[in-house]
Chains A and B, each alone.
Chain A
Amino acid sequence: MIEVVCNDRLGKKVRVKCNGDDTINDLKKLIAAQTGTNWEKIVLKKWYNVYKDHITLDDYEIHDGMNIELYYN
């Protein structure tokens, strides 16, 4: 289990517990469940890299305690 911090810098900062082998899509759903936004509206970024839905966190090398930028469509 890893914990990832997602911050949209507009007032929402979520600490999500997830597995390493979860996809970005799963992570988005979890975030959506905690924040109450539609998961389809969520865009996860690291600098200019937009994380794609079908790739796992391990593959993106997202580790425990990392920050991910949260944007909305």
Chain B
Amino acid sequence: MSEVSASIEETNRIRLSLGLKPLKLGVESSSAQIAEDNLKRQREEESKKARDEAIKKKIAKSKNKRELTRVIAGKGLGEASDEEDTDDVYKWTMKSRNKEKERQIAEAARREKELQEMDESYQAADYDEDQLSGLRVGHDMSDFAEGEERILTLKDSTILENEEEGDELINIQMSEKQRLDKNLENLKKKNKPVYSGFDDDEFVLGKKKNILSQYDEVLGVESGNEGFVIGKMKRPQAGRADGSTSAQRQGGLSAKEVMNQKLKESAIALTYNKTQQAHDYYTKDEAEITFKKSKKKKKSRARKSGNWEEEQDQDDNAMEVEKPEPVDISELNFVDDEDLQESLARARRVATKKNIKKLTPEQIAKNRKFTENKAMEMDEDTSQRGGLVISDVSEFVANLSSSAVQIPSARPTPTEKAASETPTEDDKATPNAAPEPMKEDSDMEDNKEDEAMESSRSRTRAESEDVEEQDVAMEATNGEDQSKTESVLVDEPLVSRGLGSTLALLKRQGVYETGSEEQAERAKSLTEKAKWLADARLRESKLAREMARDKARDKEKVRDKNYSIRDRERDREYENQRREQQLLDEREARMKNYKPVVNLEYIDDSGNRLSTKEAYRQLSHAFHGKTSGKMKTEKRMKKLDDEKRLMGMSSTDTPLNMVTAFQERQKASGSAHIVLAVGNRNAVPSSLTSTAFGGTTSTLASGSGSSSTSASTAKTHQSTFAAPNQPSQTPLSVSGVHAPNREKVAFGLKRKAEPTPGTNTDESATKKSRS
């Protein structure tokens, strides 16, 4: 297989015939080649530049080095001294001295020049106010009094402050005083609460206070003390002698000016824009101008008008107490400027306050007189009107409990009196106003012939009845009054009057107690239930009677010929329905107040009352057919027994009746004490061993035997108490009592025994032992 290929010329011919450009001969300069070339060139350039740079650096370095060497060049320290001065000390000293002299001369010249300048400056003008002009003084002009000399000094300040404000003159004492004042004020402020409860501050002339204005003051900045600049004010130049007077004049002038300025500041322009448009939004200042709503004021006024009469009354009495004057309603209605009224009222109040404060002796005397009169009037009033007056006499009288004495102070209180009085007056004034129509109604049915007669009679009757009723009422009120007044020493209800009064007496003495609230409730419910039951019984009987009547009627109807069977049946059905309905209704009505009292009680076989838990156990045992074990049962039984014994126990004695036994013993021995044991071994005296002790009843020998025992005991006591430290020879003990001590003496109730010499000694002995 051969490869067909054409030469360049042939190809070019073909290309020509095809309309293509001829072949590019030579080296193919592709874009890649160009790029490569470019890169190479760039690299070369860079390397060249770096080389140049390096050369330049090298040159600079060498230059620098040369410079350095040139500075260092010359003689070194050692070299110089070696060469010039070592050989010639004189030269060196001379040179140094010359140098010193030169310096001194220069210094002297400089100082002289300075002094000269100072002299010139001092001599140029004598020191007077002109030197001070332009200096600020840190105090107000009004702080300087006339003819007063104050030493002003420059105020301490930092450099920055000084640059800002310049020098300032102050007097140390005055500034101290200012600071003290400030501190005092701060203290006062701190003590005083911010919100006083009054709105006095709101009406201070000038602009309104800002919110929380107490915090407006910046800490550390002294306000209000502006000071003045010397020489700023116009004034005739004067010498030092009349400086103070000129300053004074200046002060007066400035004060006036300041006043003017202040007034100008606080002035309010009366011109205002009459056609002001209403805007949606206002600035703060604009908003301040608008009217305030005065809700509170209106409210208070309403209240005032409501209590107007009361206040009037109080005003009569309250002399000393300062009060806002009563507001006239008629006036109030025409008030349209509230603020004005407010301010006027305040002014008036202040004025009255002042008057009160400045009381002259005459005024005081007058006041006193007035109050005395008042008191007398009051007394009279009370005697008329009532009220409680407590005095020695009244107290004494009140304590006399006899009901016959009429207590003068016991008068009905005004309201009671009014209540009791008004009906009587009514009766007297209009006796035939209320009862008349009623009587007429009743009379209408009666004969109409003697109407006049009847009416008059009825009137009299009514009157009499009313009077009677009134009397009863009066009595009742009187009784109430008396019970009220005699609350300290109450009349005992008389037993002879009846059972009620007896009960009351017992109740008062605490013998008989009314039950608690619960009990009362229960009793009430019980009575209700009884009542309900009775009602139910009554109703049932009534119903039965009705039924019987209905049946009878039915029977009658049956007898009627016209009455068909169908009709009868229908009627009966209807009747039955009706009756049923009625029954149901009635039952419902009956059950309305039905309130059953349910109280479950459980009782076991032996008749004990069971608690809920026990009852449940019993039920459970019955249900399951088994009971608790032997041990548990025994335990329970024991508990029950204990309880029973506890219930049967006497509260004043031990379970073994020791107290009774002791008492019996004492009675038998005729002594106030009992010897329980004597000696270490608790030996019992032979005379006592025969007596059984500690049983339920003492079996002491009576008669001659007892007397003998008592005598013997007395003897033993004497012996024992005479020598208490020794164990006594006559052992005395009471059987059945353990006594660890050597001897025990029990004292029972002191019984009155026959006064025998033995007992007396006994008593004295006991006293000894007790002490």
In the complex, the answer to whether B1 meets A11 with C-beta atoms within 8 Å is yes
Q: Which of A13, A22, A33 has the most CB of B within 10 A?
A: A33
For chain B, the count of residues having a C-beta within 8 Å of the partner chain is 19
Tally of A-B Cβ pairs under 8 angstroms = 52
In the complex, the answer to whether B5 meets A14 with C-beta atoms within 8 Å is yes
Q: Mark B157-194, 1 if CB is under 8 A from A, else 0.
A: 00000000000000000000000000000000000000
B28: A residues at CB distance < 8 A? 1-2, 20
Bound form: Cα–Cα A34–B6 in Å:
8
Contact among A3, A13, A15, A26 with B20 in the assembled complex (CB-CB below 8 Å): A26
B6: A residues at CB distance < 8 A? 16-17, 34
In the complex, the answer to whether B11 meets A30 with C-beta atoms within 8 Å is yes
| Min CB gap B218→A, angstroms | 84
Bound form: Cα–Cα A49–B3 in Å:
24
Q: Mark A62-73, 1 if CB is under 8 A from B, else 0.
A: 000000000000
Asked if B24 is at the interface (CB within 8 A of a chain A CB), the reply is yes
In the complex, the answer to whether B20 meets A22 with C-beta atoms within 8 Å is yes
| Min CB gap B14→A, angstroms | 5
In the complex, the answer to whether B20 meets A33 with C-beta atoms within 8 Å is no
Asked if B68 is at the interface (CB within 8 A of a chain A CB), the reply is no
Q: Answer whether A34 and B24 are a contact pair too, CB < 8 Å, given A17-B11, A29-B18.
A: no
Asked if B374 is at the interface (CB within 8 A of a chain A CB), the reply is no
Bound form: Cα–Cα A44–B18 in Å:
19
In the complex, the answer to whether B1 meets A1 with C-beta atoms within 8 Å is no
Contact among B3, B8, B14, B30 with A14 in the assembled complex (CB-CB below 8 Å): B3
Asked if B204 is at the interface (CB within 8 A of a chain A CB), the reply is no
Asked if B598 is at the interface (CB within 8 A of a chain A CB), the reply is no
Bound form: Cα–Cα A13–B8 in Å:
18
In the complex, the answer to whether A18 meets B14 with C-beta atoms within 8 Å is no
Asked if A12 is at the interface (CB within 8 A of a chain B CB), the reply is yes
Asked if A35 is at the interface (CB within 8 A of a chain B CB), the reply is yes
B5: A residues at CB distance < 8 A? 3, 14-17, 34
B30: A residues at CB distance < 8 A? 20
Bound form: Cα–Cα A19–B18 in Å:
14
Q: State the majority secondary structure of interface residues on A.
A: mixed
Asked if B21 is at the interface (CB within 8 A of a chain A CB), the reply is yes
In the complex, the answer to whether A18 meets B4 with C-beta atoms within 8 Å is no
Contact among B14, B17, B23 with A19 in the assembled complex (CB-CB below 8 Å): B23
In the complex, the answer to whether B2 meets A30 with C-beta atoms within 8 Å is no
Bound form: Cα–Cα A71–B8 in Å:
25
A35: B residues at CB distance < 8 A? 4
| Min CB gap B559→A, angstroms | 131
Least CB separation from B18: chain A residue:
A29
In the complex, the answer to whether A1 meets B18 with C-beta atoms within 8 Å is no
B484: A residues at CB distance < 8 A? none
| Min CB gap A10→B, angstroms | 9
Interface residues of B in 10-36 (CB under 8 A from A): 11, 14-15, 17-18, 20-21, 23-25, 28, 30
Bound form: Cα–Cα A21–B5 in Å:
20
| Min CB gap A22→B, angstroms | 7
Q: Which of A15, A16, A17 has the most CB of B within 10 A?
A: A17
Bound form: Cα–Cα A22–B14 in Å:
14
Asked if A5 is at the interface (CB within 8 A of a chain B CB), the reply is yes
Q: Answer whether A15 and B23 are a contact pair too, CB < 8 Å, given A1-B28, A30-B18, A33-B18.
A: no
Bound form: Cα–Cα A6–B23 in Å:
18
A33: B residues at CB distance < 8 A? 14, 17-18
In the complex, the answer to whether A34 meets B18 with C-beta atoms within 8 Å is no
Q: Answer whether A13 and B14 are a contact pair too, CB < 8 Å, given A1-B24, A1-B25.
A: no
In the complex, the answer to whether A13 meets B18 with C-beta atoms within 8 Å is no
Q: Answer whether A13 and B3 are a contact pair too, CB < 8 Å, given A26-B18, A30-B11, A33-B14.
A: yes
Least CB separation from A1: chain B residue:
B23
Interface residues of B in 263-298 (CB under 8 A from A): none
In the complex, the answer to whether A5 meets B11 with C-beta atoms within 8 Å is no
Q: Mark A36-73, 1 if CB is under 8 A from B, else 0.
A: 00000000000000000000000000000000000000
Bound form: Cα–Cα A16–B15 in Å:
11
B21: A residues at CB distance < 8 A? 19
In the complex, the answer to whether A13 meets B25 with C-beta atoms within 8 Å is no
In the complex, the answer to whether A13 meets B4 with C-beta atoms within 8 Å is yes
In the complex, the answer to whether A13 meets B2 with C-beta atoms within 8 Å is yes
B17: A residues at CB distance < 8 A? 33
Interface pairs A-B: 7 shortest CB-CB: A15-B5, A1-B23, A33-B14, A17-B11, A13-B3, A14-B4, A29-B18
Give chain A's interface residues, CB within 8 Å of chain B: 1-3, 5, 11-20, 22, 26, 29-30, 33-35
Give chain B's interface residues, CB within 8 Å of chain A: 1-6, 8, 11, 14-15, 17-18, 20-21, 23-25, 28, 30
10 interchain pairs, CB-CB under 8 A? A1-B8, A1-B24, A13-B4, A14-B5, A15-B5, A17-B6, A19-B23, A26-B20, A29-B18, A34-B6
